Structure 1
Amino acid sequence: MKNSYILLLLVFGFTTFAQTSSREQFPLFSECEASVLDQQEACFYNTIQNFVYTNYKVADDVKSANFKGNVIALFEVDTTGTFKILYIDAPYESLKTETKRVFELLPKVKPATYSGRKTYSKFTLKIAIPLEKPNVFSSKTEVVQDKTNTTLIDNTKELSEYDDIVYKPFENPQFKSKGNIMFSHQNYGVFDALLNQVGSNNHTASKPFSYDEVAKYYDFETVNQSALKQKESWWGRKFWNENLVAIQGEGYWFALNPILDLRIGKDTESEASNTFVNTRGVKIDGGLGEQLTFSTSIFESQGRFADYYNGFAESIRPSGGNPAIIPGIGIAKRFKEDAYDFPMAEANIKYTPSQFINLQLGYGRNFLGDGYRSLLQGDGTSPYPFFKINTTFWKIKYTNTYMWLKDVRDLATVDGTYATKYMASHYLSWNATKRLNIGFFENVVWTNTNERGFDFNFVNPLIFYRAVEFGSSSKTGNAVLGLSSKYKWNNQINFYGQFLIDEFAIGDVQESNQSWRNKFGYQVGVKYYDAFKVKNLLLQLEYNQVRPYVYSHSNPLTNYGHNNQSMGHNWGANFRELVAIARYYKGRYFADAKLIYGQRGFDFNNGTDNFNYGGNIYLDYDENRPYDTGVSIAQGNKTTVMIADLQVGYLVNPASNLKVFGNILFRNFDPTAETAATVKSNTTWFSIGLRSDLFNWYFDY
């Protein structure tokens, strides 16, 4: 045990990473060489404090701002006795420049030694602004020594570990991370053309993408810098350019942003005074090292919509008395007399143990396909828990997703608890050539019948689900198969498609009798990038067709649905649909136009005709079929649907994806016969708002 000194810093805070022992010698200024050993450490501190105080000049911009705070300087004394700045934390560039200048004026000293050998020593200096005369280093320190280490214990000062944490300027590390990019068609349209160049070896069907997947083709940092507004004030930077809170350190980072969706509108045919959405929330993204990333979003919302959308939301309401399920969001409770309160949360934790594999534990949605719709796995449902494995190598990407879903119908609810069902899917994407991609899909849904729980027969990522499902019992499981493709004609034109088989009878196909058992659907589409040589103009044309009874099952509990919504196409089954889309952006401005024309087949349910015509996937297809052959698309209460949607807007903040927009939607819904569920209507819906665009919210029902 021996005594040493440590400085009581009231104005200058001084901590050291160097350790003092009988074998270690502090750096020495020439004026400190005559000091006794116990005073040499104190002399070093006092000399550097006085030197900085004497030579430091605070710039006029700092003085005029009446700034009060600290400059933190991390520096070292190398083996030649030269002072070198390692890092400076200061709110003004002039303070950083002045700190560097002062340290360059410091004379060389005798370097620190350890066991007689010259060594590096690191220190942290805290400079108070405005400058104040430093105090003298004179307090006593108790030294505790063991066989492996020497530790200074200061009887008059707290530990410096907390203050020694070094923060770096936030350099948007998410742009190079393995974190997911929140999926919306509008957001992904910005880099869609670059990902679909001829010769690229990526896989665009499985969404959402990660930043590092896209960064190979799209320079997030350059685009972000070019879009920044010149704002000096803190409020200006945070509103127009930056994350609200952003922290980056050694190997970690996180960012926090508010979530807003504030919109007001009017359905001109409605008796309600207006439509509105009032969403507040928070989104957190982060990374720990290069392998682990995470994100979470929490929303609290109230809203009232156009009459047709309110009617659809109430038609899929859950058991238990709540009035509606907001499509894509979740169960809603009543707000006031004619509006809804609908909270939502999403989360994702992603671990990447190697360049070939990443594992995701999430609560959200997934999407498979290159089109506006997906017949294989869409994102129009409420969020759900899932576990996903992505394996990428050579020309292959293999995606395994395991999902926990809910059936919220009255018939499936016991003692107030919704029924749980499980889903597992495989999707193999193969770049067969530099232009052609082929995807193979299989999926199985099963229930907890006989306390079956999560059946580990389906955990094996390489197994063929249809055979396992049949062996486990085809009545408590439902398997579907699918095929997808994409062909790059050139860098401007891509063709894509999907084919889904829910059930298929070869004999009936050969007889050409349009059997109800031939349950399949298909999609064909084309994208035209930089259309007609207009930079950033995307034109898209897509046709979707799904036969009656697709996605349904003999046991409705094992259908292809979740929370009374389809896990495939948003319209369920028994329809044909043509979609035309135009997207354009320039800088922060954007415009989207969409036209949908379709024919859908609904049930009559009018007391005299209660047949199941195959559009409602939550009905048992073994009962109430009107016929077994001659089954055609849009059979039953044939309804023509036309939707035209135009949106223009401006990206307010790229960091939080906050957009201001105006929207107008025209909808014509013309059924053959009006029933309680199919009411003829013509809707004109105007909206303006401010929204954090984080996911696809579909209003085209």
Structure 2
Amino acid sequence: MKHILMLSAVLLLSIVTSAQEKLPVIAPYHSQNIRELYMDTVNHHTALGPILHEDTSTIYTNPDTTKRSLLYRKLFREHLLEFRNEDYNVFIDFLPDFQIGKTRNGSKNTWLNTRGARIQANIGKNFYFESSFYENQGVFPYYLDSYIRNQRVVPGQGEVKDYNKGKGFDYNYASALLSFTPNKYLNVTMGYGQNMIGDGYRSLLLSDISFSYPYLKVTGTLGNVQYTSMWAQFMDLHSKDFSQAYRDMGYIKKWGVFHFLDWNVSKKLTIGLFDAVIWPDADSTGRKRGFDWSYMNPIIYLRPAEFSAGSSDNALVGMNLKYKMLPKTTIYGQLLLDEFKLKEFFGGKGWWANKWSTQLGFRSFDVFKVNKLDLQGEFNLVRPFTYSYNTTLINYEHYNQSLAHPLGANFYEVLGIATYRLKRWYARGELMYSQYGLDPDAKTSYGGDISKSYDLRAKDYGNKIAQGIKTDLLYAQGTVAYVLNPKYNLRLEMSLAGRQVKNDIGKSTDLIFSFGLRSSFRQLYYDF
């Protein structure tokens, strides 16, 4: 909450000090209109999210809507509260997420009661501010209920408290963003939320699946090159288990610094280079380290900085590629190296520290010449022990969730997603298959659980994908929605999901139905 108060103070200051500019304003793209960037004849920087753009719709008023009743306009056309001026706009919305459902496995009744609120504001063409808050109570399907009890967090939404005598969960979460764009070359964003690097549904570099965290991001654009430096602070929920020093201090924080260089080589090809370092706020004895100023230089290659600091911080490097194969079809991919030795890689002996992951996918729009029928396919592979470390103080994790893929490591995954829009109707179908390896006990690691120390590994050589208890996961979901108000994505939504998990221990199958009144543009990932 203190981060939101700080951002609000900065916003008020900016209102007083900003120059009187005319709109249009800077605002973030939402998922449904990012498709336009991929289909444009100009090659845009699409890998770094959230993507900001000039939004002229904030000054547009449809004359027809002014003739409608106030109730009609607020329910179907406008924000709940709108304050418009030639120099600023402020929009305030109530964001409900009310769902009821049922699972076939045990005939469990599920429900979600979310009350949210969001404020958006822009001042001139330089400042954009957004903040949202959600208060939630819910009862989840069995697999999510088990995950929440084990990890103590709702995926992407923070820590929980028991609700209704332990039958459900009570939790809340918030996000905020303040963006300053003084010119077309520079953007500075301070926020409390998530970021993503990649063109896929998943990201193996930095994903938006985890809980909110504070960050400062500086992005410069010059010609066809976009360069971003970001500093962030994460939370280690395992830290209380290490020593008495940690129990007295509460959850220990850890820091991250990220660099991403995105180069539009041509109208078709984009190459992105990525590196990151995670380091602890304190050592295993509780001794404070704090922010390491040797990582403050925004234009560096992080591995030399980490080495010069005399540390063993967790360093990762990677690449993001995008190629427009056809006017409406783009292929993309990623490669990440954690710890990697060329000799061991080509030795073919399955050395445990050959930690890497890769992705290959495509996006295709207006498939079969049907307007707004879009298709996405993706393959992800992550080697055992990737993203893990010998301590959770510097592994690639925040709030007990990976900063990359929700399955952690030691898996491969194939998924396909189809979406279709017709006026206010929206339909989405997803099919995902994954094979991964589970650990037989708490004292042995086969590399899938990135919260476990890699010192618990069962062997040094002979490691392969899905080792351990080989498990097959099949997940399918179909969703149909009618959008009542596109301003804040208020919609009536019905969903049916099927999930099957099978290994040598047993088999679990479930069918999950839900219906509700939903809002906001949040992306929540329950497909694991």
TM-score by length of 1: 0.69
Q: Which digits, 9 at most, give the CA deviation of each residue in 1:565-588, with x for residues without a partner? A: 000111110000001110110111
The one of 681, 691, 694 equivalent to 2:508 is: 681
Equivalent position of 1:495 in the other structure: 331
Contact 2:215 2:232 in 1 (8 A): yes
Q: Which digits, 9 at most, give the CA deviation of each residue in 1:129-166, with x for residues without a partner? A: xxxxxxxxxxxxxxxxxxxxxxxxxxxxxxxxxxxxxx
Shift of 1:240: 0.8
Q: Does 1:644 align with 2:450?
A: no
Contact 2:25 2:124 in 1 (8 A): no
Equivalent position of 2:241 in the other structure: 411
Kindly indicate which of the two structures has a greater share of residues assigned to strand: 2
Contact 2:495 2:514 in 1 (8 A): yes
> Structure 2: how far apart are the matches of 1:488 and 1:282?
38
Contact 2:58 2:89 in 1 (8 A): no
3-state SS of 2:210 partner: coil
Equivalent position of 1:291 in the other structure: 126
Q: Decide whether aligned partners of structure 1 residues 628 and 224 sit closer, same or farther in structure 2, where only a CA change above 3 A counts.
A: farther
Shift of 1:200: 1.0
Q: Decide whether aligned partners of structure 1 residues 370 and 673 sit closer, same or farther in structure 2, where only a CA change above 3 A counts.
A: same
Contact 1:197 1:490 in 2 (8 A): no
The one of 460, 485, 500 equivalent to 2:297 is: 460
Equivalent position of 2:355 in the other structure: 519
3-state SS of 1:239 partner: helix
Q: Does 1:439 align with 2:272?
A: yes
Counterpart amino acid of 1:208?
A: P
The one of 330, 353, 358 equivalent to 2:182 is: 353
Counterpart amino acid of 1:403?
A: A
Q: Does 1:653 align with 2:494?
A: no
3-state SS of 1:415 partner: helix
Which blocks of at least 5 consecutive residues in structure 1 are unaligned?
A: 1-171, 182-186, 318-324, 675-679
Q: How many residues align?
A: 498
Shift of 1:548: 0.3
Contact 2:358 2:381 in 1 (8 A): yes
Equivalent position of 1:252 in the other structure: 88
Counterpart amino acid of 2:289?
A: R
Contact 1:277 1:304 in 2 (8 A): yes
Q: Does 1:618 align with 2:451?
A: yes
Q: Does 1:634 align with 2:486?
A: no
The one of 396, 400, 422 equivalent to 2:225 is: 396
> Structure 1: how far apart are the matches of 2:170 and 2:118?
20
The one of 321, 329, 333 equivalent to 2:157 is: 329
Q: Does 1:376 align with 2:213?
A: no
Shift of 1:545: 0.3
3-state SS of 1:503 partner: coil
**Could you say what the CA RMSD is over the residues aligned between the two structures, in angstroms?**
2.0
> Structure 2: how far apart are the matches of 1:698 and 1:270?
23
Shift of 1:225: 5.5
Q: Which one has more relative contact order, counting CA pairs under 8 Å at least 6 apart? A: 2
Contact 1:637 1:671 in 2 (8 A): yes
3-state SS of 1:451 partner: coil
The one of 521, 538, 543 equivalent to 2:379 is: 543
Q: Which digits, 9 at most, give the CA deviation of each residue in 1:399-436, with x for residues without a partner? A: 11111100011325421610110001001100011100
Q: Does 1:592 align with 2:428?
A: yes
Equivalent position of 1:139 in the other structure: none
> Structure 2: how far apart are the matches of 1:491 and 1:549?
39
3-state SS of 1:414 partner: helix
> Structure 2: how far apart are the matches of 1:568 and 1:688?
30
Q: Does 1:690 align with 2:521?
A: no
Shift of 1:671: 2.4
Q: Does 1:309 align with 2:144?
A: yes
Shift of 1:235: 0.8
Equivalent position of 2:31 in the other structure: 188
Q: Which digits, 9 at most, give the CA deviation of each residue in 1:448-472, with x for residues without a partner? A: 2342211111111111111111232
Pairs within 5 Å for 1:139-154 = none
Counterpart amino acid of 2:162?
A: R
3-state SS of 1:557 partner: coil
Contact 1:197 1:491 in 2 (8 A): yes
> Structure 1: how far apart are the matches of 2:300 and 2:93?
42
3-state SS of 1:525 partner: strand
> Structure 1: how far apart are the matches of 2:310 and 2:106?
49
> Structure 1: how far apart are the matches of 2:46 and 2:262?
9
The one of 169, 174, 177 equivalent to 2:25 is: 177
Counterpart amino acid of 2:345?
A: V
Shift of 1:473: 3.7
3-state SS of 1:556 partner: coil
> Structure 2: how far apart are the matches of 1:353 and 1:545?
40
Equivalent position of 2:9 in the other structure: none
> Structure 2: how far apart are the matches of 1:195 and 1:222?
22
3-state SS of 1:673 partner: coil
> Structure 2: how far apart are the matches of 1:221 and 1:487?
33
Equivalent position of 1:451 in the other structure: 288
3-state SS of 2:368 partner: helix
Counterpart amino acid of 2:354?
A: N
Q: Decide whether aligned partners of structure 1 residues 292 and 649 sit closer, same or farther in structure 2, where only a CA change above 3 A counts.
A: same
Equivalent position of 1:572 in the other structure: 408
Contact 1:270 1:306 in 2 (8 A): no
The one of 245, 258, 279 equivalent to 1:425 is: 258
Q: Which digits, 9 at most, give the CA deviation of each residue in 1:1-56, with x for residues without a partner? A: xxxxxxxxxxxxxxxxxxxxxxxxxxxxxxxxxxxxxxxxxxxxxxxxxxxxxxxx
Contact 2:157 2:211 in 1 (8 A): yes
Q: Which digits, 9 at most, give the CA deviation of each residue in 1:147-199, with x for residues without a partner? A: xxxxxxxxxxxxxxxxxxxxxxxxx96xx321224xxxxx524441x212364
Contact 1:224 1:654 in 2 (8 A): no
3-state SS of 2:456 partner: coil
Shift of 1:554: 2.0
Counterpart amino acid of 1:329?
A: Q
3-state SS of 2:39 partner: coil
TM-score by length of 2: 0.91
Q: Decide whether aligned partners of structure 1 residues 222 and 544 sit closer, same or farther in structure 2, where only a CA change above 3 A counts.
A: farther
Shift of 1:250: 4.3
The one of 43, 48, 51 equivalent to 1:209 is: 51
Q: Which digits, 9 at most, give the CA deviation of each residue in 1:48-104, with x for residues without a partner? A: xxxxxxxxxxxxxxxxxxxxxxxxxxxxxxxxxxxxxxxxxxxxxxxxxxxxxxxxx
3-state SS of 1:421 partner: strand
Q: Which digits, 9 at most, give the CA deviation of each residue in 1:521-544, with x for residues without a partner? A: 000001111111111111111000
> Structure 1: how far apart are the matches of 2:323 and 2:307?
34
Shift of 1:392: 1.1
> Structure 2: how far apart are the matches of 1:465 and 1:233?
58
> Structure 1: how far apart are the matches of 2:150 and 2:121?
39
Shift of 1:291: 1.2
Shift of 1:659: 1.4
Contact 1:566 1:617 in 2 (8 A): yes
Shift of 1:248: 1.7
Counterpart amino acid of 1:656?
A: Y
From the CA coordinates, give the structure whose radius of gyration is larger. 1
Task: Determine what percentage of the aligned residue pairs are the same residue.
Answer: 35
3-state SS of 1:342 partner: strand
Shift of 1:353: 2.0
Contact 2:41 2:327 in 1 (8 A): no
